[in-house]
Amino acid sequence: MTYKVAKVIVDVPSRETDRPFDYLIPDELKGWIEVGSRVGVPFGRRTVQGFVLSLHRESDMDPARMKPIQELLDLMPPLPPDLVEMAEWMSRKYACSMISALQVMIPAALKGKAERYISVAEDEGGQDALSEADAEAGNADSGSLFVVPELLTGEEEEIVAYVKAAGQVTMDHLSARFADRAGDLKGLIRRGILAETQMIKDKVRKKTVKTVSAAVSGEEAERALASFSGQARRQKEVLQFLLEVGVPLSLQEVLSTLRVTAGTVAKLAEKGFAVIEDIEVFRDPYRNRNFKGTDPLERTAEQEVVYGKVTETLDERSYGVFLLHGVTGSGKTEVYLQTIERCISLGRQAIVLVPEISLTPQMVERFKGRFGGKVAVMHSRLSTGERYDEWRKIREGRVQVAIGARSAVFAPFADLGLIVMDEEHETSYKQEETPKYHARDVAVYRAHQHNAAVILGSATPSLESYHAARSQADDNFAPLLLEMKQRPSGSHLPGVNIVDMREELRDGNRSMFSRALHEGIAARLERGEQTVLLLNRRGHSTFVMCRTCGYVAGCPECDISLTYHQKSNNLRCHYCGYAAPAPSICPECNSEHIRYFGTGTQRVEGELAKLFPGIRVIRMDVDTTTEKGSHEKLLQTFREKKGDVLLGTQMVAKGLDFPDVTLVGVIAADTALNFPDFRSAEKTFQLLTQVAGRAGRHQLPGEVFIQTYMPDHYSVIHASRHDYGSFVREELNHRRALHYPPYSRLILVTLSHEKLPLLLRMAENFAGDLRGKAQRLGWYGNLDRFAAEALDILGPVASPIPRIKNRYRFQCMVKYRGPLDAVRLVRETAADTLANLRDASLQISIDVDPQMLM
Ligand SMILES: Nc1ncnc2c1ncn2[C@@H]1O[C@H](COP(=O)(O)OP(=O)(O)OP(=O)(O)O)[C@@H](O)[C@H]1O
Ligand SMILES: [Zn+2]
Ligand SMILES: [Zn+2]
């Protein structure tokens, strides 16, 4: 079975190129090109990277017009066929291009770019140029023409001689070498005397080390050693050493052990007595760490039930999704470990997804401790090279478990048995950039492809998952609900006190600490126990405001206030990167009363220092955790009890497990409740429940204070009682009444352009067009009428951030219910809008199942 044609998705980001192109498979690559292969193909005048989508015996295209694949970039295709198939599904589901879906599945190291190489043309006389001119003139019989050798100037000859000597040089090198003779260089290429080829070059290569080993043995070696002259004493020493050791050694090691130069070893190799080779090695980010092995714990009764259900699915090789609702500290991670162990023993592989900020060394340690070298870890703090190597271990079948953040869901395992998603409610599982996928949906789809099991674990499951489990409505994704209500340690969930901050104010306490929390901290200091303080502030930012005139420093390009960064003492825009020095007088009114406002973990830190002299505070926020590894270092310091208080934003709420933490305080519980986001109650509940679970997880009993100005809000009350069920009932009622997910689905469409009037018109056109189309399909209607199928379009309205990077933004929200292919309708309408306008500057972004509404 020989395939002659490959359909290739090219790495050219435009709407016109979002379809496969046909290429011929050259004879020498037949048998090597597979579905998922990464190839370099000619595209227009360039060479671009592409992925093979499918193989065919013939094409509808005229073979004469088809170009051949130029090069194959990897021996083993980076994408197995199931991922290629999934890219097509992602493209439909999330309205993204195929290339963006394929690119997100492979490590950044494999995003190759074409490099231009120059060599002397085969026939120096400019044959190519001539025959091309002939072809244009319709003269097919150019071969018989008498070719006049081109005359070269002295300068030109020098360049040609240089290239000839080098064989092949990059264009970059050549233009730097002959920087002052760009004209000559270009002329030579234009006339076809120098030929240009393009090849794809990867950003990062496999890492290798130079090794050296003896190339002779036995009698031969005896003779070789005898043959050395007195001057070659050092070479003889090296050969003797290599013969003794008998295995390849790293060159570096040989040089330092014997104190010889690289030249000595090279001479030995030249004579044929030794070989110097590059041997591939893996960069291992955890190489200097030892992980203590751990054994499975005896399962509790609750764990047994969950374990039984999941392993049954694994043993049967059937598809199954489980929603594991387990209170904090109920032993979910232990269940993950044991089900993974079963999965591996069945010869299959497992993926563990955790939110980026929970991917701490402690987390990794638990998995490495149980599975040792079978684990690959992927997270954003690794270098591009380290990530590439971890990924290769997966692709080459060297490991059986991959643990990582969102994108680890694409780990290219051959026989996937289990996908665990810890903290499944976390919004960071949704990617905010294109492709705007949700790792939960991808996990479920992959499990379906592989007949695998999925465990979605959380103490506070997302309403979408919980509702799906309860109603068993959506047959594609109807998880089985499993619950764990007890902690194996026997410790109880901590008592939670709600502190009404309005009352504190009435009683004359103007501090940010209530009297109760103040006393609590003081008591911990006395007893040598630890405290965790959470400042609930999403999008944590500090802005600059003038107290005299009310001026707020804003970004000149975006309609948003600038964020103050203490370390660099400047103001920065989080959307476009604009930066300016922090002003000391107000640019509007020249007042000196210009101050830094906002959340300030720094302010809390300052106040703590004032109230408790000598207190050791470890502050964890965006400012203190930007450096690589800083997050871990801070936690380690706290773990070693070199800090009394761990103070921070959301980061402190997740997965931390410290035996001496007996007090948790939430400074301002309600800040998120005021956000114009229908999920704000859910997010507040989740955060409070999570952080409350940090206290008293071990022998010492815990205590929690939640300070709030909204003590009667149901999310605060239910969180204080650890009562997920009551919260969900109340929240679902609200959602149903307002037709929000899970009772509808959303598509957020954002249009942007530099010119406001034009944008406004286009946004109106888009919404009108979409409405018309929906009406003709009989979909359009108010969701209030409780029809099984309906689609409503809200807007256009200005986006919550109305301008970013000098582009104005308007949005439409599509709300729908029932099995309508609304994504396709929106995508087609967007394409029509763009095609009609023919203004490349208009951008339309489509976010399916959006998580961030601001
Ligand atoms: N079967 C068991 N017997 C004894 N101890 C157990 C058992 N299972 C778990 N534990 C212990 O209970 C504690 C909590 O377990 P684990 O971290 O797995 O819970 P979790 O639900 O993942 O916690 P969270 O998600 O709240 O961080 C750990 O110290 C763990 O070692
Ligand atoms: Zn002012
Ligand atoms: Zn900006």
pLDDT, residue 606, reads: 85
Q: Which chain residues have CB less than 5 Å from ligand 3, an ion?
A: 555, 557-558, 573, 575-576, 578
What is the pTM (predicted TM-score) of this model? 0.81
98-112, 221-235, 486-500: range with lowest mean pLDDT? 221-235
**424 CB near ligand 1 (under 6 Å):** no
Q: Ligand 1 pocket, 600 CB below 6 A?
A: no
- Indicate the annotated binding residues for Zn(2+): 546, 549, 555, 558, 573, 576, 586, 589
- Ligand 1 pocket mutation pick from 325, 334, 357, 532 by most atoms within 8 angstroms of CB: 334
Ligand nearest to the CA of 366: 1
Higher model confidence: residue 572 or residue 764?
764
Closest ligand to 653 CA? 1
What's the average model confidence in pLDDT over 675-694?
Answer: 83
Residue owning the nearest CA to atom 19 of ligand 1: 331
Q: Where are the beta strands (DSSP E) in 675-780?
A: 703-708, 745-753
Residue 224's pLDDT is what? Answer: 78
| Mean pLDDT, the chain, integer | 85
Q: Tell me if 680 sits within 8 A of 672, measured CB to CB.
A: yes
Ligand 1 centroid, distance to 371 Cα (angstroms): 17
Q: Among 81-90, 303-312, 529-538, which stretch is predicted with the lowest mean pLDDT?
A: 529-538
Tell me the CA–centroid distance for residue 352 and ligand 2, in Å: 52
Q: Is the CB of 475 under 6 A from ligand 1?
A: no
pLDDT digits (tens, 9 = 90+) for 724-747: 999 999 999 999 888 889 999 999
Mutate to test the pocket of ligand 1, among 303, 333, 341, 362 (most ligand atoms within 8 A of CB): 333
The H or E element containing residue 766 is helix 756-776
User: Which segments of 684-789 are extended strands (E)?
Assistant: 703-708, 745-753
Q: What is the pLDDT of residue 673?
A: 67
pLDDT score for 47: 87
**Cα–Cα distance measured from residue 635 to residue 841, given in angstroms and rounded to the nearest whole number:** 46
Q: Are 318 and 451 in contact (CB under 8 A)?
A: yes
Ligand 1 and 334: CB distance under 6 A: yes
What is the predicted pLDDT for the residue at 124? 42
The atom of ligand 1 lying closest to the CA of 334 is: 18
User: Angle at CA 550, nearest 5°, toward 544 and 555?
Assistant: 45
For residue 849, CA distances in Å to 382, 427, 431, 675, 816 come to 29, 11, 11, 19, 11
Q: Is the CB of 326 under 6 A from ligand 1?
A: yes
- Would the CB of 731 count as within 6 Å of ligand 1? no
CA–CA separation, 138 vs 119, rounded Å? 28
Instruction: Verify whether ligand 1 is closer than 6 Å to residue 297 (CB atom).
Output: yes
Atom of ligand 1 nearest to the CA of 693: 26
- Write the ipTM: 0.96
Distance CA 17, CA 99 (A): 9
The answer, yes or no, to whether the previous bond of 711 is cis (omega within 30 of 0) is: no
Asked whether 298 lines ligand 1 (CB < 6 A), one says yes
- Best residue among 489, 686, 697, 700 to mutate for probing ligand 1's pocket (most ligand atoms within 8 Å of CB) is 489
Alpha-helix residue ranges (DSSP H) falling in 412-568: 439-450, 463-471, 501-506, 515-527
If pLDDT is split at 50, 70 and 90, which confidence band does 131 have? Answer: very low
Q: Which pLDDT value is given to residue 537? A: 62
* Atom in ligand 1 nearest the alpha carbon of residue 698: 29
Q: Which two tokens stand for residue 816?
A: 């729908």
The answer to whether 620 touches 647, Cβ cutoff 8 Å, is yes
User: Quick check: helix, strand or coil at residue 361?
Assistant: helix
pLDDT tens column, 621-637 = 766 776 767 777 888 88
- Specify the pLDDT at position 140: 39
- Answer whether 690 contacts ligand 1 (Cβ < 6 A): no
pLDDT at position 8, please? 96
Residue-level pLDDT at 413? 96
Distances (CA, A) of 341 to 400, 418, 455: 10, 10, 14
Closest ligand to residue 557's CA:
3
Give the per-residue SS3 of 93-111. Answer: HHCCCHHHHHHHCCCHHHC
How far is residue 560's CA from residue 571's CA, in Å, rounded to a whole number? 12
Q: Is the CB of 295 under 6 A from ligand 1?
A: no
pLDDT tier, 541 (very low <50, low <70, confident <90, very high otherwise): low
457 lines ligand 1 (CB under 6 A): no
pLDDT at 546 over 80: no
Tens of pLDDT, residues 590-606: 888 777 765 567 778 88
Ligand 3 center to residue 809 CA distance, Å? 13
Cα angle 485, 491, 495; round to 5: 85
Going by the annotation, the residues of the binding site are 546, 549, 555, 558, 573, 576, 586, 589
Average pLDDT over residues 329-355: 96
CB 303 near ligand 1, within 6 Å = yes
Whether 142 has a pLDDT exceeding 70, the answer reads: no
Flag the least confident range among 171-180, 464-473, 818-827.
Answer: 171-180
| 703 within 8 A of 694, measured Cβ to Cβ | no
Q: Is 457 helix (H, G, I), strand (E, B) or coil?
A: strand
The Å distance, Cα 580 to ligand 2 centre, comes to 17
Pick the most confident of 364-368, 441-445, 588-592.
441-445
pLDDT confidence of residue 494: 80
Of 672 and 273, the one with more pLDDT: 273
Ligand 3 centroid from CA 807, angstroms: 10
Res. 660: pLDDT tops 80: yes
Split at pLDDT 50, 70, 90, the class of 787 is: confident
% of residues, the chain, pLDDT over 70 = 89
Ligand 3: centre distance to CA 579 (Å): 9
Closest of 323, 362, 307, 358 to residue 460, by C-alpha: 323
Does the CB atom of residue 330 touch ligand 1 within 6 A? yes
pLDDT at residue 123 greater than cutoff 70: no
